[in-house]
Amino acid sequence: MARKFHLGWFCNFTSGDWNGDFAPNEAPWDGKFYVEMAQAMERACFDYLMLEDTLMVSEAYQGTSEATLRYALQAPKHDPLPLAAMIGAATTRLGVVATMSTLAYPPFMLARLAATIDHICGGRFGWNIVTSGEDSAAQNFGMDELPPRETRYDMADEYVELVNQLFGSWAPDAVVMDRARGVYADHTKVRPINFVGKYFKCRGPLNTVASPQGRPVYVQAGGSPRGRAFAARTADSIIATANGTEGMKWYRDDVRTRAAAAGRDPDDIKVLFLIYPVIGATDEEAWAKYRRMVNAPDFIEAALAAIGTVTDIDFSRLDLDAELPRLTTNGEQGTLDKFAQWGSGKTLRQLASERYDGGLRLIGTPDAVAAQMGAAMEAVGGDGFLISTPFQRSSRRAVNDITEGLVPALQRRGLVRTRYETTTLRATLKEF
C-alpha cells in the first residue's frame, strides 16, 4: 500500500490567465473566480490553498515597471486576506493559507486578523510567514531599503514569539457567557503580555477571542540556511522549490534534521514541493501544450522579468546565450538558486525556458504524471506537492486538468486522500 502524500495549491489574487486561449471574459477582482477555484480544490480534497503575496510594483527589469505591468507579473495584485475570508466562508474542509509579511504588518494587527479569519474558516486558517524580499516593498513601509536577510530573520524570530504570546493571551475557556451572572468573558483568563523586544513592543492582550486552532497553522518557505532554520523551528508546513528528486530529498532531510535538533518531531512538518504539472489526454498533447508555452514570443522575457521581481536582479543586462554568472540577492535567494541550476553550464535562455519544468518534467497524461509523482515521493520520503500554474496564472481549464484529471489518477493509485477525516487544517496536515 503506497504512502499517501499531501496536496496544496499555490496561487495569488491577480489577473489570472487573462489572455490565455481559455480565459474567461470576466475580471477576477471580485474574488468569485478564486472562491470557485477553492471549491474545486476542496472537492479534490487538497490540504490547503495557499495565497501568495508581495507588496510592490517591481521595477527590477530594465529599471521600469513596463514588463511588470505588461505581463501582469506580481502586479496588479489584490489583498489576499479578504479573499481568504471569502474562501473560508464558502468552504468547509479546505485549509486556507494567506501570506503576510513580518516587515509590513504590526504584530498585533496580524494576530488579530489571523484569529478573526481562523474563526470565519472554523479553524482552517494558515499564515504563510514571509519577511519580504524586495527593496521596492520595503520602500512602501517607510524603509529606504530591504534590511539584510539576517536582520529580517532576527525580526521574524521575535515577531513569531510575540504573536504566539498574543494568541495565548486568551485562555481557550475565557468566554463563559454566563447569563445568570451576566458575565461574557472571565477577565482573569485574558492576560496582557507586556512584550518588550529589540524590534517590537506590545502590551496585549489580543482583543479577539482565542483562535479555534489556538494559533493558525504556520507555513514558511525558507531557502537560505537561516531561512531553513527558521522554518524548521516554526513551521507546520514548509513550501519549497528544489531541482529534481535529489534536491527535494536534500532539502527535506535538511529541515527535518534541523527540526529534530530544535526539539521538534520532524513528522510535525509537512514539506510540500512546488510543481507545475502539464496535463493532456495524451503525452503528445501535453508536450505540445508545454512547447507552445515556452516557445511563445514573449515567454523568455516574461520569465526573466518574473524572476527579477522577487530577486531584484535586472536579467535584461545579462547575455541570454552565455552561462549565467554566479549571482546573489538579498531577496529570494532560494528561488534564484532553483532557477539558476548552478554548475549546470546552461545559458540564461535555457534556464528561462526551464523555469516551469521544476526538474521533474511532469508533462503527460493524468496517469503518467501521477505515476511520476508517486515515484518522486517514494525517493524523497514525503510529504507532498504544492501545485501551481506558470506565472501563477490560474484558469478554470488549468484547475480542471488538476482536479478532474490528475487528482483522480492519484486517488486511484492510493497516493492522496479521497475524503477529509478532520475539520481543522492542523489536524488535516497530521492525518498522515
Ligand X SMILES: Cc1cc2nc3c(=O)[nH]c(=O)nc-3n(C[C@H](O)[C@H](O)[C@H](O)COP(=O)(O)O)c2cc1C
User: What angle is formed at CA 74 by the lines to CA 59 and CA 399, rounded to 5 degrees?
Assistant: 155
Count of alpha carbons within 13 Å of 53, Cβ hemisphere only?
Answer: 25
Residue among 99 and 365 whose Cβ is closer to ligand X: 99
Per CB under 6 A, 53 contacts ligand X: yes
Can you point out the beta strands (E) in 200-286?
A: 201-202, 217-220, 237-240, 270-275, 278-279
What x/- string results for residues 73 through 112 when contact with ligand X is judged by CB under 6 A? --------------------------x-x-----------
What x/- string results for residues 134 through 153 when contact with ligand X is judged by CB under 6 A? ---------------x----
Per CB under 6 A, 279 contacts ligand X: no
Can you point out the beta strands (E) in 170-260?
A: 175-178, 183-185, 195-196, 201-202, 217-220, 237-240
Per CB under 6 A, 240 contacts ligand X: yes
Residue among 86 and 386 whose Cβ is closer to ligand X: 386
Per CB under 6 A, 221 contacts ligand X: yes
Per CB under 6 A, 223 contacts ligand X: yes
- Name the residue with cell 486558517: 125
Per CB under 6 A, 222 contacts ligand X: yes
Can you point out the beta strands (E) in 36-136?
A: 48-52, 95-101, 125-130
Total chain residues near ligand X (CB under 6 A):
25
Among 68, 91, 102, 132, binds ligand X (CB under 6 A): 132
Can you read off the three cell numbers belonging to residue 331?
531577496
- Name the residue with cell 512547447: 291
Per CB under 6 A, 154 contacts ligand X: no
Per CB under 6 A, 275 contacts ligand X: no
Residues 382-401 that bind ligand X (CB under 6 A): 386
Per CB under 6 A, 241 contacts ligand X: yes
- The DSSP bridge pattern shows strands 175-178 and 183-185 to be antiparallel
H/E stretch holding 386 reads strand 384-387
Among 100, 130, 248, 376, binds ligand X (CB under 6 A): 130
Query: Which ranges constitute the DSSP H helices of 172-243?
Result: 225-234
- Point out which residues bind ligand X (CB under 6 A): 10, 52-54, 99, 101, 128, 130, 132-133, 149, 221-224, 227, 239-241, 274, 332-335, 386
